[in-house]
Chains A and B, each alone.
Chain A
């Protein structure tokens, strides 16, 4: 039986009617139209469904939607500020870190959480933090370079 559920997604409250059997990934995609949350495996193995839950990256396919009640959910759609891209989005584009793009939303969100917590990671820290996000196209190298470039740009921007 459907029950009302209020979710805070990308800074806005949404009231939905849903059953407890649905995952956060399904609800975000199908009820809120946030199709930037991808589904690659449904088992928490690929990371394409990554969202930030209270700022921490998690596999949305492993979270029941009802469990996200009272928590802040951020999807890729919540990153850009209108037409202004987030520095990580800019960096991914500039560094050639995107090919088929299916892993990209998850990668960027996980990277954002990393930089929010550790603004100056070295490459091994970047790799460790993103190691739950699989990519089949890029070979990862340009993704790591993009995250490093974004961190550098943040640092320079902050210093001013």
Chain B
């Protein structure tokens, strides 16, 4: 598989240079982080990748025998020199990820607080060990796929995203970031500059997903859960649940999480929330799996994610 279209390659040395390029080229520029998504998207897709209107049987089929690549940017802008976008900062009450932090780097951080461990779970299971050495958290978010593992994990952490452009910086909550499969509120001239999630005591989170195999999978269903326990009673003070691959974007299971407030962190509570989470989504059936199966998986995975989150919140470790 080769890249057939031509693009010009830019390699800005500073963030300001990068932002200037984004301002200049907008939507015809694709930033290049790990490349695990963009490079594949740019390769010729052969005869089977379909454009939206192909696939309607017609009496004649003119010209369309090789459908062009999904992604054909005129400019590819490498982020390789932007060292300021790398790294993971662990603060007293929050964690800040540079968008270029790779999945491997995140997965290797055993010192991440239990509150944000869902991100580590997600980073550790995405793709494969090889892909994780290239794939970045920023790329995973910005590509905005409904099954994106770290996006789902961050969503239950109420993460905030910092978007930068020549016009300045703005902050967006992750819940309002995704607008559809592959689309987000990020403007064409904006660069995702940082991802931040709060991390406090008595909190724990977890992410689980299921595919058919145990590696190299895209989630059939992904589930993340975050809990804050009351230090006195041990009851659930606050909960968040997020789901992937069951809607056009990663979504929060708001009603299900609300059920948990004030309840004991036990199997009964989790089952209740899981059932509500399952009832609250309308996944599609596609060639990977049926809606009915996805409903079942939501139940199982939410329950298990809650169990692990609770254990971590209580200080029980992994």
| Contact, chains A and B (beta carbon distance below 8 A) | yes
* Contacts of B21-36 to chain A: CB distance below 8 A: 32, 34-36
Query: Which chain B positions have C-beta within 8 A of A42?
Result: 1-2, 43
Please tell me which stretch of B125-133, B229-237, B263-271 contacts chain A, meaning at least 4 of its Cβ atoms lie within 8 angstroms of it. Answer: B125-133
Number of A residues near B (Cβ < 8 Å) is 32
Nearest to B129 among chain A residues (CB) is: A132
As a 0/1 sequence over residues 33 to 66 of chain A, the CB contacts with chain B under 8 angstroms (1 = contact) are 0000000011111010010010011110111101
Interface check A149, CB cutoff 8 A = no
Contact check, A131 vs B80: say whether CB atoms are below 8 A apart: no
Query: Which residues of chain A have C-beta atoms less than 8 A from B129's C-beta?
Result: 57, 110, 128-132
Docked pose: A66 CA to B214 CA in angstroms = 33
Distance A105 CA – B288 CA, assembled complex (angstroms): 31
Contact A132 B127 (CB under 8 A): yes
Report whether A110 and B32 are in contact in the complex, using a CB–CB cutoff of 8 Å.
no
Q: State how many angstroms separate the Cβ of A70 from the closest Cβ of chain B.
A: 8
Give the tally of cross-chain contacts (CB within 8 A): 91
Interface residues of B in 204-223 (CB under 8 A from A): 214-216
Q: Does A101 reach chain B (CB closer than 8 Å)?
A: no
B40 at the interface (CB under 8 A from A): yes
* One of A22, A23, A59, A64 near B131 (C-beta < 8 A): A59
| Chain A residues within an 8 Å CB radius of B7 | 20-21
Tell whether B8 is near chain A: CB-to-CB under 8 Å: yes
Chain B 99-150 interface residues, beta-carbon cutoff 8 Å to A: 104, 127-131, 133-134
User: Contacts of A131 on B, CB cut-off 8 Å?
Assistant: 128-129, 214-216
Q: Is B82 an interface residue (CB 8 A)?
A: no
* Choice from A56, A62, A66, A128 contacting B36 with Cβ under 8 Å: A62
List of A residues within 8 angstroms of B11 by Cβ: 66
B259 interface hit (Cβ, 8 Å): no
Interface size for B (C-beta < 8 A) is: 32
Take A56-B133, A67-B78, A132-B128 as given contacts and tell me if A45 and B35 are in contact as well, using a CB distance cutoff of 8 Å: no
Bound-state Cα–Cα, A47 to B128, Å: 9
Report B-chain residues with C-beta under 8 Å of the C-beta of A66. Answer: 9, 11, 78
Q: Given the complex of chains A and B, what is the CA–CA distance between A53 and B134 in angstroms?
A: 10
A66 and B78 alpha carbons, distance in the complex (Å) = 9
Interface: A74 (CB within 8 A): no
Q: How far is the CA of A56 from the CA of B3 in the complex (A)?
A: 24
Q: In the complex the two chains form, is A133's CB within 8 Å of B9's CB?
A: no
Contacts of B36 in A (CB 8 A): 44, 59, 62
Residue of chain B at shortest CB distance from A52: B133
A69 to B12, CA, bound (A): 14
**Which residues on B sit within 8 Å (CB–CB) of A58?**
130, 133-134
The 10 A-B pairs at the shortest CB distance, nearest first, are namely A132-B128, A42-B1, A20-B9, A132-B130, A131-B215, A21-B3, A56-B133, A132-B129, A62-B39, A58-B133
Question: Besides A110-B130, A132-B216, 5 other CB < 8 A contacts?
Answer: A22-B3, A23-B39, A44-B127, A44-B130, A47-B130
Q: List 10 A-B contacts (CB under 8 A).
A: A22-B2, A42-B2, A43-B1, A44-B128, A57-B130, A57-B133, A62-B36, A62-B131, A67-B32, A131-B129
